[in-house]
Structure 1
Amino acid sequence: MRKPLWKNIKNKMEMKDSSVWMMICIILIGLFFFVMAAPNLQPQSYEIEEFTEAQETIYSPVTIEDQKETESKIQRAVQAVDEQYTISDQITQDRMEYINEIFDAAEKINQMEADGKGEKSETERLSEYESLLGNEITKNVNTETLATILSAEAEELLEAKQFLLEHTREIMTSGVKSSNLRQKEIEFNRNVVYSPFSDSLKDALSELGSFFIVENSFFDAEKTAEERRKAASNVDPVMIRAGETLVESGDMITSEIYEDLLLVGVLKNERNLLPYIGLGLLILILSGLLYLEWLNQRDWDKKTVFTIFIISIGAVSTMKIFSYFDTNELRLFLAVPAATGVMVIKWLINDRFAIILAIIYSVMAAILFNFHMPGFLNVEAGLYMLFSQLTGIYLFQNMRDRGEMVKVGLGILVVNVLTILFFTLISFTPIDWRELFTLIGFGFGGAFFTSVLTLGLMPFFETGLNILSESKLLSLANPNHPLLRKILVEAPGTYHHSVMVANLSEAACEAVGANGLLARVAAYYHDLGKTVNPRYFIENQMGEKNPHDLLQPEQSAKIIINHPYDGAYLLREHKMPKEITDIAEQHHGQSLLKFFYYKAKEADDEVKQSQYRYPGPKPQTKEAAIVFICDSVEAAVRSMNQPSVEKLEEVVKSIIHDKLIDGQLSECPLTFQNLNQIEIAVCELLKGIFHSRIKYPDQAVAAKEEN
């Protein structure tokens, strides 16, 4: 039996060892964060003068607009825009009406004469013709031209009318400006020259053309300004991209290159240390937050510390890699599988610690995705990472159900899309649907890779860090496991007892939301220590004489008390998971061996109770406490001759009450409600097991009456 003093010393050494490892972990994480974030604080500075030779190739540390060059480009685009003119359709229509008026009036005069309304002289006919025309025509068209039109044959007159309408409309529709009016008149006269009309009629048509062809296209200042605005808006800003080569080694620093170097901020003569001090303070705050949360945690070991270190390094490294390819336009940070690390942390540790790390990672994201622009924090990236991580932490409940990862991935996708829409709608810019769907695609990629990476990392931590998982528990539950075979062969009664305890423990755990599979497997191994002296435990005596009859009570007590610690020793020797070893060591807590204690008390009233108590520790987890209770329940029920429903319920309630009063459950997280749920679950299972052997009250009475 191990001495309590040695156990206390060992526990203190383990706590101190874990504290040292945690401090080392926090310091290393802080240093790594500083190294990752430092390049994003400010650009590299150079001492360069204009018209000198560049000693090395210089790249732009930031993405920035060259406003001077952009303005020059806009001016060139504006100057290239032609003046805009507006064609007056009303003027064109008026000219067409003048043509119709001139020829319709001539046709009317000729028609009146043809109808025999009296012959008139040419002068009278011309006078009557002019009276039918408007003042605008008579003022601008001479009498000789009108006389020629009036004297033309009807067929020729119709052809002339069609000729004028067609060519005048064509010229006027194309637009007649003051600058090209003469050119349009020449064009019209050229058409007249090649027409089939008589020379006198051609002269008349040329004269009419001078009247019909007038300016109808006027300078439009508003339209010109609008076109120039469009040209200016279509000019892409001249950007100096992060990573763009500003000057090659050996090239001359011209005025233009010097202005670019000045613009991107690499011509500072002194490096500013203030940003590094600020980053150091931020890292100190984040490290302090991590340390304070560590103080609130109960149990730490090297595996847990190493897990936090690996995940933190991996999470920040992933963001750093994505930041190398990200730009302000691309926004690749939306595709980062941000929730993977904190989901693994929740699974391995707890959700509270995962939330703290989610906040820390989000702050780092705001720095790492600042597009190498000193003094800029990408709040969008920080909020996006935080929302995505918190969603993963909240939805990730049960790793044993692999299908749940699909639900978690869908939940993260919904939150990612809503966050992207939030950023888009508050930007006060027109929605570019193509760009929006691209960003949503990034959000989908982040959610998808979060699910895939989380599933992929689980086996790594299970195997590499010896993490207890469902698959590992199932392999340990195999009856062919060497230790289970050892129990079955060397202590068959104990094996049967362990199987019964396992059934009861699993049912009780499921009732209170604990890990039923862990409790079942731990129950299989909890009495492994009995294989050291199997004949000293009643379930293995098989009708043989009880060897305790030949021993003193204190000797018997020592053998019985040793079995939890012998079992824990064997489990550690076989590299069994710590959770199972702890349950084996705690499954009797600090209980009193009442039988041997009272037997010893009969011989000596001054016997100390502490000599007949297990050294502990008391159960520390729900699973350990449930195995502790079910172990006593199974032993008590097995000793009953004729179990009934009432007796079973009485025994279960009595055992739980005694353990509670004795203070054996004071260090486990079970509540009174949990104890009530355990009692109900255990009783229901026992009723099923002993159903065929139970005589219910009514049945017993009926049987008695028949006899």
Structure 2
Amino acid sequence: MKNYWYRFKHYPFYQHKWFRISLASLLLSVFFFLITISNVYTETYSIERFTEAKETIRSPLSIENEKETERERRAAIQSVEDRYEISTEITQERVGYVNELFEAIDKIDEEENDSGQSGDDGNTVSDKEKAQDLQQMISPEISDALQREDLIQLITASPNHRSLGKELLTTSLYDVMNDGVTTENMQTGIDNIKEKLQYSSLDASLKEVLYLISEFAVVENSFYDAEKTVEAQKHASSNVEPVMIRAGEIIVTEGQTITNEIYEELKLVGLLSDDRNVYPLVGLILLILLIGAMISYEMNNYAAKRELDAGKIASIILISVLMVAVMKVTSLFTGSVNQLFFIVPAATGAMLLKILLDERLALVLSMMYAILASLIFNSEIPGSLNMEAGIFILFSQLAGIAFLVNLKDRMAILKAGIGITLVHILTVLLFLFLSFEKYSMADVFTYMGFGAVAAFLSTVLTIGLLPFFETGLGILSDTKLLTLSNPNHPLLRKILIEAPGTYHHSVMVANLSESACEAIGANGLLARVAAYYHDLGKTEKAHYFIENQMGITNPHDMLQPEQSAGIIINHPYAGGKLLKKHKLPKEIIHITEQHHGTSLLKYFYFKAKEQNKYVKEADYRYPGPLPKTQEGAIVCICDSVEAAVRSLKEPTKEKIAEIVSSIINDKLMDGQLNDSPLTFKELEKIRQAVCEALNGIFHSRIQYPTNQEVKEAN
């Protein structure tokens, strides 16, 4: 916290981590907003009624035309006929009157036959008397409806004709009454019965009587049912499908007159200048804010573990801009027919981010790119997302991250390209099989070819763009480190030729440093390469360093302690200058300048103190700075450990463990690790890893006898 406030007070605001991260996130958010605004905020038109459309206009969204839906519902309700309740009691009553009439006539005939056969009375009953008797037998309703002459016609008709007439009349009456008789259709029902009677073989006089009976029998038996009518209207209304204006549907074609109906549709979908809908814009702003916040969080998370300099921030911005721009350009040529998002080299950004920065950061940004892809490829239909495009872009990037495993292998990117091709093909087949549409084999192979091309482009672009980011932005990647670790590098050859002892010492420190870094999850390759170059400054005066004094007198014996100290203290900074001159990465330069921190040259300090007890300790300390990173602190420890263990005559496991622990404790007590992010737990892992590596180097060997000992033994 103290260091943070010191930096806050003494450094310009633009050098603060929070400012850089906020600025980068803001720039990306603004770019994402400008790129995607056309996907949610469509063009509007200044159009008046009854003018001609200057261009064909399509609906940008799917929306219900509520007015048209309501109109169709009203029409459906109006088309519903009134519902009536048919009274079966009335039907049975009217048919009962007819049956009663004919049964009464049959009764009279039966009585007449019985009386004629018995001979009780020689007088015959007249037709009028029969009619009179009939009137008394039947109900007043039907008696009042028929004249006596009409009854006589029925009585005098032959039984067969009368039976046939009864059957025709009752059957027709049932048909009419069961269909329902209202005041409006009563006459129609009567006419239907008469029509059936008319074409029968009955006598004309009998037909006339039957006509009269039908006029009496047919009455209203169907009554309006309000409840059933309302229920039928509701059912009809609910069956009306909403009238939808579909996204992409043509509302008006070029040259067509803008009618009131078309004008209302344009207004409904928000295409008129005065009726623009701002809600999609608000939604887009919220989405971009969330994406920007996620990017800020991940950048801050990355900065907490490693240095997030301007070059790395610039790489995040450039990669993000490149990926989103490529998707936007591709979307301009993508439609429902040609799904060109399958050809987007999406894995490029993910692989570059993993190589240059961090796998976690690459994963999170890949998800953000996929979300943006689902919006960018929505055919500029507000409110819709192209999930196929989003899923394909996500799987493509995840494949790039997953298959790019061994960054120290120069063929790793090409191997990852093969894996990406396989994932692309499987994803394409996934969409084709899930689709309801039928695709021809030509379409299948075309889309699979798109996926293969996308994987190829991803591989080529990653290989091609990587040197630009490494050199142009000064980002140190594993491929760059592998190049710098080549023994034929001019500076390494310089150390080997001019200071061979220092070269051997650097190789040993590199081995120890890499083992220690891998134990705590730090960048072992960076520590190894930095260790190769950390003592480059010794080449200026190689013979002043003991590891290079092979068979010569130690020149320090002829110098004053302060002179010797000046030569020794200068070598980290002389090495830094040489590295800067040859434009090596700043990470290696920083480790070179920091690998001694502000430690004390104890030998020359105590030697000077023997001559002058008032000598200042500060004159015999390195000016720093202290190691700032895990890798720098580990190189600092391993440099001292290697030199100390090499000086042991008989390096046993116990002695090695003791001297390693001693050096780490001395570094801690002297404050040399104060600026590094190493924890006590990590220091313990470093101690164990260094001891294991040294035990492997200085393992016990068989002591072979000399020639003299062999002779004496014989």
Fold conserved between structures, TM > 0.5: yes
Offset at residue 371 of structure 1 (A): 1.3
Number of the residue aligned with 1:678: 690
Number of the residue aligned with 2:584: 576
> Which segment is superposed worse, 655-664 or 588-597?
655-664
- The letter of the residue matching 1:35 is L
- The letter of the residue matching 2:285 is G
Could you list the runs of 5+ residues in structure 1 that have no partner in the other structure? 68-236
Q: After superposition, where does 1:107-122 map in structure 2 within 5 Å? A: none
Offset at residue 39 of structure 1 (A): 0.8
Contact kept, 8 Å, 1:509 with 1:678, in 2: the verdict is no
Aligned to 1:524, what secondary structure does the other structure show?
helix
Contact kept, 8 Å, 2:355 with 2:477, in 1: the verdict is no
The answer to whether 1:282 aligns with 2:287 is: yes
Contact kept, 8 Å, 1:51 with 1:255, in 2: the verdict is yes
For residues 44 and 336 of structure 1, do their structure 2 counterparts lie closer, same or farther at Cα, with a shift above 3 Å needed? same
Q: After superposition, where does 1:207-218 map in structure 2 within 5 Å? A: none
Number of the residue aligned with 1:270: 275
Contact kept, 8 Å, 2:660 with 2:687, in 1: the verdict is no
Number of the residue aligned with 1:463: 471
Question: Following the alignment from structure 2 to structure 1, what is the Cα–Cα distance between the partners of residues 267 and 585?
Answer: 62
Q: 1:371 aligns with which of 370, 373, 379?
A: 379
For residues 240 and 287 of structure 1, do their structure 2 counterparts lie closer, same or farther at Cα, with a shift above 3 Å needed? closer
Question: Following the alignment from structure 1 to structure 2, what is the Cα–Cα distance between the partners of residues 26 and 589?
Answer: 35
Q: 1:585 aligns with which of 582, 593, 606?
A: 593
For residues 706 and 643 of structure 1, do their structure 2 counterparts lie closer, same or farther at Cα, with a shift above 3 Å needed? farther
Number of the residue aligned with 2:335: 327
Question: Following the alignment from structure 1 to structure 2, what is the Cα–Cα distance between the partners of residues 25 and 618?
Answer: 29
Percent identity of equivalent pairs: 50
Q: 1:306 aligns with which of 310, 314, 318?
A: 314
Contact kept, 8 Å, 1:473 with 1:517, in 2: the verdict is yes
Contact kept, 8 Å, 1:322 with 1:333, in 2: the verdict is yes
Post-superposition Cα deviations, 1:147-171, rounded to whole Å, max 9, x if no partner, equal xxxxxxxxxxxxxxxxxxxxxxxxx
For residues 358 and 477 of structure 1, do their structure 2 counterparts lie closer, same or farther at Cα, with a shift above 3 Å needed? closer
Contact kept, 8 Å, 1:42 with 1:375, in 2: the verdict is no
Q: Please identify the structure whose Cα radius of gyration is greater.
A: 2
For residues 705 and 18 of structure 1, do their structure 2 counterparts lie closer, same or farther at Cα, with a shift above 3 Å needed? farther
Q: 1:57 aligns with which of 52, 55, 58?
A: 55
Contact kept, 8 Å, 2:356 with 2:476, in 1: the verdict is no
- The letter of the residue matching 2:46 is E
Offset at residue 344 of structure 1 (A): 1.0
Question: Following the alignment from structure 1 to structure 2, what is the Cα–Cα distance between the partners of residues 469 and 664?
Answer: 27
- The letter of the residue matching 2:475 is I
CA RMSD of aligned residues (A): 4.6
The count of corresponding residues between Structure 1 and Structure 2 is 522
Q: After superposition, where does 1:222-621 map in structure 2 within 5 Å? A: 247-248=253-254, 251=255, 253=257, 258=262, 266-267=271-272, 269-296=274-301, 297-298=303-304, 299-413=307-421, 415-416=423-424, 429=436, 432=439, 434=441, 439-469=447-477, 472-473=480-481, 475-477=483-485, 481-484=489-492, 486-487=494-495, 491-502=499-510, 505=513, 517-542=525-550, 545-549=553-557, 553=561, 556-600=564-608, 612-621=620-629
The answer to whether 1:37 aligns with 2:45 is: no
For residues 272 and 433 of structure 1, do their structure 2 counterparts lie closer, same or farther at Cα, with a shift above 3 Å needed? same
Contact kept, 8 Å, 1:619 with 1:668, in 2: the verdict is no
- The letter of the residue matching 1:451 is T
Offset at residue 16 of structure 1 (A): 1.2
Question: Following the alignment from structure 1 to structure 2, what is the Cα–Cα distance between the partners of residues 238 and 300?
Answer: 51
Question: Following the alignment from structure 2 to structure 1, what is the Cα–Cα distance between the partners of residues 489 and 21?
Answer: 35
Question: Following the alignment from structure 2 to structure 1, what is the Cα–Cα distance between the partners of residues 7 and 553?
Answer: 39
For residues 641 and 313 of structure 1, do their structure 2 counterparts lie closer, same or farther at Cα, with a shift above 3 Å needed? same
Question: Following the alignment from structure 1 to structure 2, what is the Cα–Cα distance between the partners of residues 490 and 26?
Answer: 49
Number of the residue aligned with 1:16: 15
Offset at residue 638 of structure 1 (A): 3.9
Could you list the runs of 5+ residues in structure 2 that have no partner in the other structure? 66-243
- The letter of the residue matching 2:279 is L
Post-superposition Cα deviations, 1:486-522, rounded to whole Å, max 9, x if no partner, equal 5456545434433444455556667777655544432
Question: Following the alignment from structure 1 to structure 2, what is the Cα–Cα distance between the partners of residues 332 and 320?
Answer: 11
Number of the residue aligned with 2:632: 624
For residues 621 and 704 of structure 1, do their structure 2 counterparts lie closer, same or farther at Cα, with a shift above 3 Å needed? farther
Number of the residue aligned with 1:189: none
Contact kept, 8 Å, 1:536 with 1:547, in 2: the verdict is yes
Aligned to 1:269, what secondary structure does the other structure show?
helix
Question: Following the alignment from structure 1 to structure 2, what is the Cα–Cα distance between the partners of residues 404 and 492?
Answer: 34
- The letter of the residue matching 1:47 is S
For residues 512 and 18 of structure 1, do their structure 2 counterparts lie closer, same or farther at Cα, with a shift above 3 Å needed? closer
- The letter of the residue matching 1:253 is T
- The letter of the residue matching 1:285 is L
For residues 356 and 503 of structure 1, do their structure 2 counterparts lie closer, same or farther at Cα, with a shift above 3 Å needed? closer
Aligned to 1:48, what secondary structure does the other structure show?
coil
For residues 517 and 277 of structure 1, do their structure 2 counterparts lie closer, same or farther at Cα, with a shift above 3 Å needed? closer
Offset at residue 584 of structure 1 (A): 0.7
Contact kept, 8 Å, 2:61 with 2:247, in 1: the verdict is yes
Contact kept, 8 Å, 1:40 with 1:368, in 2: the verdict is yes
Contact kept, 8 Å, 1:49 with 1:253, in 2: the verdict is no
